[in-house]
Amino acid sequence: MSVFNSAISSVKSAAFVAALLLTVVLAGCNQAGTQPNERAQADGTDGAQIPAMQPRLDASPVATGDGNWRVLTAEEVTFTVTAPGARQVKLLYSPVVADDQAFEIVTLDAPDENGVFRTQLKPPADFAGDMWAEVAYADGATRETEPIALVARDAVAATAERNEQPGTNASSEEGDNPTDARTGGGQPARALNTSGGTITHNRLQANQPDVRIAINIPAFRLTLWQNDKPVKTYEIGIGKKSHPLPSGDREASQVIFNPNWIPPNSTWVRRMRGVSPGERITADDPRNPLGKIKIPLGNAYLIHEAAKPSDIGSLVSHGCARVLTKDLFDLAEQIIIARSLPMTQADIERAKNSNERVIQRLETPIPVIISYETQVIEDGVLHLYPDVYDRNTNTVENLRALLESNDINAARLADETLREMLARASMTEKFSVRLNDIRGGRALTAGRTQPLTEQSAERNSGGNSNNSRDGSSARRRSS
């Protein structure tokens, strides 16, 4: 993580600071990066001169939210940095939609006798993102606190009221059991929710409103289903390990094209350059971080645009599904056709090429089923995906049970064979083999590894990518 520098005062940076206020708590999807302690001995400073205590940032009052999120429970929030021996503290902010950006919110230079810095701020209602502190010591050394993911209570409540029903949004921190999530026909039982292999897709039928969206996290795939048949599959990016895309059932009640941003009348906005409270910032304005299209899922999660192609097939977000812009428009178009919604093809093209804001409401919300299945059988083919969140789903026992549930005498397969099959799935590749080849004893010789996504193929061929195995990148670069 780069130390915040004077470039933050530029107009471009100030514009992105605006993102912090706009960031609709839609689970925020800011790309991950380097660890906050990597500056402990920067600039040639002798690490031994830095106080032994790691500086710490706290916010109060807060409540526990989904994943690592902490929900701000009051209009005014107290931020406390404990850093004995420090002379100055900068509070830095990374909005969920402003990738690789870090912005200075306030500088504190008056600690109490215990080395504690305090300030009170009023975050806007749509606040969401990471905050941390850069701490400067008298000898020139700098350290950074661990970041904390904060989201405004009002934004969470608004999306929850609109999209959630009590008891229907089960968010699982454990991996789905692949041996239980099956039907007799070999299709995933969770609403036919995965399509990551050679499964046959069907043509979308107009005026057939029974559609749903299914996401299989380890496959990096989002599939649109109609009448319990797969129609189209899109490659996605998913939440990083610290902010995983949660398994569970959700709903989409609207598709928003060209969302405007109106900066609230906030102290933070008034400090920024290039934007003014109450100003209407349209979708084509570079100061607007919302993008061209998004599909809120409620409770701080959404399907939205990827910041760049390398997001696909990577762990990059704060728990959202990232989709390429062209694919996201295509998904919206398919939904509109299936539901016979009043938005025409000409309207869609106009949304693509203009900044006209359109909210297409879905009278009957679309079910969105998010699952975590690393072992999937489709059309007589076994697909093994990486255990991206380290949930211990790719075990020999799970694989053996899945094969036996599909009429394969798995007792004849040695543990070493099953382990080798599982080992061939990686963060960039899946392993696929036909069930008949497994029955014939050709699991390893006939099976093939394939790139998880097109971007995975580029990474495998040596293409440049700023994403690492765990989804980290050079994050929070000061602009």
- Residue 36 pLDDT class (50, 70, 90 cuts): very low
Record the pTM: 0.67
Asked whether residue 287 carries a pLDDT value surpassing 80, the answer given is: no
Q: What is the predicted pLDDT for the residue at 218? A: 98
- Residue 52 pLDDT class (50, 70, 90 cuts): low
Q: What is the 3-state secondary structure (H, E, C) of the chain?
A: CCCCCHHHHCHHHHHHHHHHHHCCCCCCCCCCCCCCCCCCCHHHCCHHHCCCCCCEEEEECEEECCCCEEEECCCCEEEEEECCCEEEEEEEEEECCCCCECEEEEEECCCCCCCEEEEEECCCCCCEEEEEEEEEECCCCEEECCCEEEEEHHHHHHHHHHHCCCCCCCCECCCCCCCCCECCCCCECCCCCCCCCCCCCCCCCCCCCCEEEEEEHHHCEEEEEECCEEEEEEEEEEECCCCCCCEEEEEEEEEEECCCECCCCCHHHHHCCCCCCCCCECCCCCCCCCCCEEEEEECCEEEEECCCHHHCCCEEECCCEEECHHHHHHHHHHHHHHHCCCCCHHHHHHHHHCCCCEEEEEEEEEEEEEECCCEEEECCEEEECCCCCCCCCCCHHHHHHHHHCCCCCHHHCCHHHHHHHHHCCCCCEEEEEEHHHHHCCCHHHHCEEEECCHHHHHHHCCCCCCCCCCCCCCCCECC
Domains for the chain: give ranges and CATH numbers. 6-159 (2.60.40.2470), 164-171+189-371 (2.40.440.10), 375-460 (no CATH)
Q: What is the predicted pLDDT for the residue at 382? A: 97
Q: What is the predicted pLDDT for the residue at 477? A: 33
Q: What is the predicted pLDDT for the residue at 156? A: 54
Asked whether residue 469 carries a pLDDT value surpassing 50, the answer given is: no
Q: What is the predicted pLDDT for the residue at 460? A: 72
Asked whether residue 22 carries a pLDDT value surpassing 50, the answer given is: no
pLDDT tens for 97-125 read 554 566 788 899 999 999 999 999 988 76
Segment among 99-108, 135-144, 153-162, 469-478 with least mean pLDDT: 469-478
